[in-house]
Amino acid sequence: MTDADPRRIRGLAVRLLLLLALLAMSAPAVLQETLPVGPTPADQKRNADLLSGYDYSKYPSAITGYTGQDRQQITFPRFARAVRTRVGQRGNYKAAVVRLKDGRLVLTTCRDNHETDAKKRRFAIHVYQSADTGLTWKLINQTPLFGKEPSLTVLPDGWLVLTAQKTYRGPGSRAHEAINVARSGDGGRTWKTNDLDGTDYPRNMIVERDGSLLFVRALKSDWSGKGKGSPHLQLCRSRDHGQTWTFAVGKIDWDFSAFGEVSAIRLKDGRLLAALRRQLPGTHGEGFEDTVITASADGGRSWSKPRVMVNTAEVHVFLTELADGRILATYSDYHLPYGVSAIISADGGRSWDRQHPARLVLSADLYVGWPVTIQLPDHSLLTAYAITAYLEQPPQKTVTEVVRWKLP
């Protein structure tokens, strides 16, 4: 028996591979069984229903793509372990979260009743609590407020103060005149409410060293671009858990009034730092908004000329000063891919690492965001946000989630 010609063997192998490929293409598709995902049997059981039986006709066909804007930045992600948990049922939307002294987390989230009549449409605000750093959540109450875009703060004495945009526009509503304020002295189970004149609502509030409450907002927003608003900020301060307020004007070094949703923090060096969502001049719509940053070294009386801090269509910025002095900005992506991201400043907000964003979550649609991030005692981070669920089941398309994660 003679040795086979190596070239003949290679030729036969190539023809065999081609034949197998043709057979695979002509064969009916077979669904692959779901692999067990999760470090424990309990995790695998919980994930099984989510990972099997997908009906792709109910999902968006693409989550990334060209948005019509040239020269967009492309980033390459680095993957890190994080724990992501849904809060409550489908239909929950934008949220806010705080940590109490005893370690419990309290989260407020709004929920749309999807009424087509504007006078009947309402966003109820529900309160959830977690005793295991966000792994599980329990609904404890519904506030008497109807609104969205919540901001939640815990004071040194344990009282909670909540603000929210008014959304109910029926009889007796002051939606075009005021925002909602509520306070709770029992961890969010019961609430007392009052109105605060002025229509712009804060992303967050500042607890000062003397225990007073401060937030910064647009003095008078004009999103129409007609120049009917004010280019300045308003500083709102309360010393009685949000029942009464005093006001002061902070002058910004610009002449622009299409801005609002301010996230302001007081840094360890005493400066105030504020992120402002603005409409780009001469444009209309959320895809043409961005976020600018400004600072004050005199207690908010005057503010620096705002500078762009993120890309176009990146809004809902929430500022958090971390234990190591860095500043974290968590924000919503209103461009593809929709989702929630975060960037870091290592120099007090003067510059931001826009080339290395942390991509926290993707959303199936632009109903996304309003992220709020707090740092826990072990220096890990917990971010609450809303996204559009991948499995679309109208009308309740959105969900509230939290993700616990760490910076590199």
pLDDT above 60 (res 14): no
Q: Which two tokens stand for residue 73?
A: 């930045």
Task: Give the mean model confidence (pLDDT) for residues 272-301.
Answer: 90
pLDDT above 60 (res 93): yes
Summarised one tens digit per residue, pLDDT across range 354-384 is 888 999 998 888 888 899 999 999 999 999 9
pLDDT given for residue 130 in this prediction = 98
DSSP letter at 238? Answer: E
pLDDT given for residue 49 in this prediction = 53
Long-range contacts at 99-105 (CB < 8 A, ≥ 24 apart): 99/154, 99/374, 99/376, 100/154, 100/158, 100/187, 101/158, 103/131, 103/133, 104/129, 104/130, 104/131, 104/187, 105/129, 105/130, 105/133, 105/134, 105/382
How far is 95 from 106, CA to CA, in rounded Å? 10
Task: Give the mean model confidence (pLDDT) for residues 326-337.
Answer: 92
pLDDT given for residue 39 in this prediction = 58
pLDDT given for residue 154 in this prediction = 97
Angle at 397 between CA 289 and CA 164, to 5 degrees: 55
Q: How confident is the model at residue 389 (pLDDT cuts 50, 70, 90)?
A: confident
pLDDT given for residue 44 in this prediction = 61
Summarised one tens digit per residue, pLDDT across range 155-173 is 999 999 999 999 877 777 7
- Report strand pairing: 302-303 vs 246-252: parallel
DSSP-assigned states of every residue in 330-375: EEEE-SSSPEEEEEEESSTTS---TTS-EEEEE-SSS--EEEEEEE
Look over the chain and give the mean of its residue pLDDT values, rounded to a whole number. 83
Summarised one tens digit per residue, pLDDT across range 290-312 is 899 999 999 999 999 999 998 88
pLDDT above 60 (res 183): yes
pLDDT given for residue 55 in this prediction = 45
Which domains does the chain carry? 82-405 (2.120.10.10)
pLDDT given for residue 280 in this prediction = 82
CA atoms within 13 A on the CB side of 172: 3
Summarised one tens digit per residue, pLDDT across range 52-80 is 444 434 444 333 333 333 344 555 566 67
More confident residue, 19 or 112: 112
More confident residue, 280 or 199: 199
